[in-house]
């Protein structure tokens, strides 16, 4: 989307490509070095709600939901709630026609009490607790993804006589993909799913089909996260179609659904690659149709589970600069947040492109490390990034692509409460999740 750059507006400085290219489409430079998202000044939002602060662009979330539905018109698009979930996000994705993928009774209860239809919800997870399974069966989720042999009997005992619970089997297709070793979930030797190689998946099929209270509706896989190319998905589809054919040959059952998960990459910094969703959709559909035709199978209904690609680029995190240190040949800019609200740099070594917002600067960009306030040497939000040389305490830094896996993995380390979330749309900012207070933390300590 073209951006309105006028002579009266100073664009925040950064090296390389358009610094706003990875921001929400609504992001616009504003006078005085500010940036507006959803028609809301980030500097004003920081003053009103305090920092750290997460700003979520409702229009961006909705547009990305619609983009997936347009790319996959004959499929089920299911939002992966683990990326970030609150009541407002559940409402947005429900209203846009997506389903919801949850991993716990907590996510499930929040969704259902927010008005999300249980039949449009998928539950998965490698180690579901008895509470998770009881809640899923009690509330009537559309599908439960079985991840281990032990879950087969556990789910079956929860189903009332005469009822049937739709289930899928999570299969390990032996396809390794993803932006970091910790998020590559399609290969052997990790905790998720049932292996094709050692026969675990085929054995689980036999057991599920023998349970009258379970209805095996399809196969599921999730090969990893932050995947920027289509090829790994095609390889996974080929292997799962092969298993579908074997199930048909051995049991006379043609499973009607195939879930290929999510993991679609987004660009965190200008110039980085992102997965082309329309290309993914076209090539996966073609691969699935060809594979099924070659095996004499009906084409199953496809399910995809985007999470990061829906919510990630819609979020912007705001921090205040607290101090600046020079030493050891490095400049360290300390801010009032860090790994407590965004553990991803420490976990995965991810890179961001923070910008100075709220004041104009003509100073030259210099390399700095943006570090957090928490008592860990690894609390580095952004390493070796270009920011103006005249940066000073009190300045406001904005980190784009902050919607996914920041607050969903946040913690109250050092007894610092988690930041609030503000939704912006049409020039209005609305508090969605309030800041976690010391009183909130103290209430849990009953000793």
Whether residue 151 sits in one domain with residue 106: yes
pLDDT value at 12 more than 70: no
pLDDT digits (tens, 9 = 90+) for 311-326: 999 999 999 999 999 9
Q: What is the percent of the chain with per-residue pLDDT over 70, rounded to a whole number?
A: 93
Lookup result for tokens 């589809």: 237
| Residue 23 lies inside a defined structural domain of this protein | no
pLDDT value at 152 more than 60: yes
Contact criterion met (CB below 8 Å) for 343 and 410: yes
Whether residue 49 sits in one domain with residue 66: no
Whether residue 76 sits in one domain with residue 52: no
- Report pLDDT for 225: 86
Whether residue 240 sits in one domain with residue 93: yes
Torsion of CA 320, 325, 329, 331, to 10 degrees: 10
Whether residue 334 sits in one domain with residue 295: no
pLDDT value at 191 more than 90: no
pLDDT digits (tens, 9 = 90+) for 404-421: 999 999 999 999 999 999
| Residue 351 lies inside a defined structural domain of this protein | yes
SS3 424: strand
- Report pLDDT for 275: 95
- Report pLDDT for 181: 54
| Residue 62 lies inside a defined structural domain of this protein | yes
Whether residue 299 sits in one domain with residue 317: no
- Report pLDDT for 328: 85
Between 193 and 235, residue with greater pLDDT = 235
- Among 132-146, 175-189, 349-363, 381-395, which stretch is predicted with the lowest mean pLDDT? 175-189
In CATH, what number is assigned to the domain containing residue 132?
Answer: 3.20.20.10
Region 200-206: mean pLDDT is 92
- Report pLDDT for 11: 37
List all residues 6 or more positions away from 166 whose beta carbon is below 8 Å from its beta carbon. Answer: 142, 143, 144, 215, 217
Domain that holds residue 344: 28-57+313-444
- Among 183-192, 232-241, 342-351, which stretch is predicted with the lowest mean pLDDT? 183-192
| Residue 399 lies inside a defined structural domain of this protein | yes
Whether residue 132 sits in one domain with residue 102: yes
In CATH, what number is assigned to the domain containing residue 343?
Answer: 2.40.37.10
pLDDT value at 14 more than 50: no
Cα distance between residue 373 and residue 61, in whole Å: 30
Whether residue 179 sits in one domain with residue 143: yes
Among residues 312, 340, 370, the one where a domain terminates is 312
Instruction: Name the pLDDT band for 199 (thresholds 50, 70, 90).
Output: confident
pLDDT digits (tens, 9 = 90+) for 107-119: 999 999 999 999 9
Q: What is the percent of the chain with per-residue pLDDT over 90, rounded to a whole number?
A: 85
- Report pLDDT for 6: 28
Whether residue 226 sits in one domain with residue 119: yes
Burial 98-109 (b: 16+ CB within 10 A, else e): bbbbbbbbebbe
Pick from 141, 146, 136: nearest CA to 104? 136
| Residue 6 lies inside a defined structural domain of this protein | no
SS3 138: helix
Answering whether pTM is above 0.85, one says yes
Between 132 and 346, residue with greater pLDDT = 132
SS3 219: strand
Whether residue 69 sits in one domain with residue 198: yes
pLDDT digits (tens, 9 = 90+) for 58-112: 999 999 999 999 999 999 999 999 999 999 999 999 999 999 999 999 999 999 9
| Residue 17 lies inside a defined structural domain of this protein | no
| Residue 170 lies inside a defined structural domain of this protein | yes
Instruction: Name the pLDDT band for 197 (thresholds 50, 70, 90).
Output: confident
Lookup result for tokens 């996974």: 236
- Report pLDDT for 15: 38
Among residues 282, 312, 342, the one where a domain terminates is 312
Domain count, the chain: 2
pLDDT digits (tens, 9 = 90+) for 254-303: 999 999 999 999 999 999 999 999 999 999 999 999 999 999 999 999 99
pLDDT digits (tens, 9 = 90+) for 388-407: 999 999 999 999 999 999 99
Among residues 285, 312, 339, the one where a domain terminates is 312
pLDDT value at 9 more than 50: no
Pick from 410, 411, 403: nearest CA to 83? 403
| Residue 116 lies inside a defined structural domain of this protein | yes
Average pLDDT across the chain, whole number: 92
- Report pLDDT for 1: 31
Whether residue 70 sits in one domain with residue 47: no
- Catalogue the active-site residues: 375
pLDDT value at 193 more than 60: yes
Whether residue 341 sits in one domain with residue 208: no
Radius of gyration of the chain (CA): 23
- Report pLDDT for 17: 59
Three-state DSSP string of 261-321: CCCECCCCCCCCCCCCHHHHHHHHHHHHHHHHHHCCCCCCEEEECCCHHHHHHHEEEEEEE
Instruction: Name the pLDDT band for 19 (thresholds 50, 70, 90).
Output: confident
pLDDT value at 10 more than 50: no
pLDDT value at 3 more than 60: no
pLDDT value at 186 more than 60: no
pLDDT value at 28 more than 80: yes
Residue 392 CB: number of other CB atoms within 10 A?
12
- Report pLDDT for 192: 76
Residue 50 CB: number of other CB atoms within 10 A?
14
């Amino acid at each position: 989307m073209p951006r309105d750059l006028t002579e009266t507006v100073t664009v925040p400085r950064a090296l390389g490509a358009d610094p706003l290219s990875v921001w929400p489409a609504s992001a616009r430079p504003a006078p005085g070095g500010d940036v507006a998202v959803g028609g809301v000044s980030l500097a004003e939002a920081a003053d009103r709600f305090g920092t750290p602060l997460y700003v979520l662009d409702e229009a961006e979330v909705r547009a990305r939901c619609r983009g997936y539905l347009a790319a996959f018109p004959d499929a089920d698009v299911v939002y992966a709630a683990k990326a970030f979930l609150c009541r407002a996000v559940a409402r947005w994705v429900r209203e846009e026609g997506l389903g919801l993928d949850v991993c716990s009774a907590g996510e499930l209860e929040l969704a259902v009490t927010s008005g999300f239809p249980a039949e449009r919800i998928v539950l998965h997870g490698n180690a579901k607790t008895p509470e998770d399974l009881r809640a899923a069966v009690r509330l009537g989720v559309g599908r439960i993804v079985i991840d281990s042999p032990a879950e087969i009997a556990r789910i079956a005992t929860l189903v009332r006589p005469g009822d049937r619970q739709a289930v899928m089997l999570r299969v390990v297709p032996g396809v390794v993909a993803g932006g970091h070793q910790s998020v590559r979930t399609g290969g052997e030797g990790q905790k998720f799913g049932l292996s094709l190689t050692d026969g675990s998946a085929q054995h689980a099929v036999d057991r599920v089909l023998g349970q009258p209270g379970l209805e095996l509706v399809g196969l599921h896989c999730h090969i990893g996260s932050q995947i920027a190319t289509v090829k790994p998905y095609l390889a996974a589809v080929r292997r799962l179609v092969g298993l579908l054919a074997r199930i048909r040959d051995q049991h006379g059952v043609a499973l009607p659904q195939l879930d290929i998960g999510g993991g679609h990459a987004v660009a965190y910094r200008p110039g980085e690659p992102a997965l082309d969703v329309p290309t993914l959709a076209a090539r996966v559909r073609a691969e699935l149709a060809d594979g099924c035709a070659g095996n004499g199978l009906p084409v199953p209904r496809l399910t995809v589970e985007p999470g990061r690609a829906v919510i990630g680029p819609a979020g912007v995190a705001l921090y205040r600069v607290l101090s600046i240190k020079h030493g050891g040949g490095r400049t360290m800019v300390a801010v009032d947040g860090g790994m407590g609200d965004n553990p991803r740099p420490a976990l995965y070594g991810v890179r961001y492109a923070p910008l100075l917002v709220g004041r104009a600067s003509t100073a030259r960009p210099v390399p700095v490390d943006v570090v957090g306030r928490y008592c860990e040497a690894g609390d580095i939000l952004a390493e070796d990034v270009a920011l103006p040389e005249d940066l000073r305490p009190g300045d406001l830094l904005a980190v784009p692509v902050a919607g996914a896996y920041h607050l969903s993995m946040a913690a109250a380390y050092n007894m610092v409460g988690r930041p609030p979330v503000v939704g912006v749309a049409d020039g209005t900012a609305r508090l969605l999740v309030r800041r976690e207070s010391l009183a909130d933390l103290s209430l849990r300590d009953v000793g």
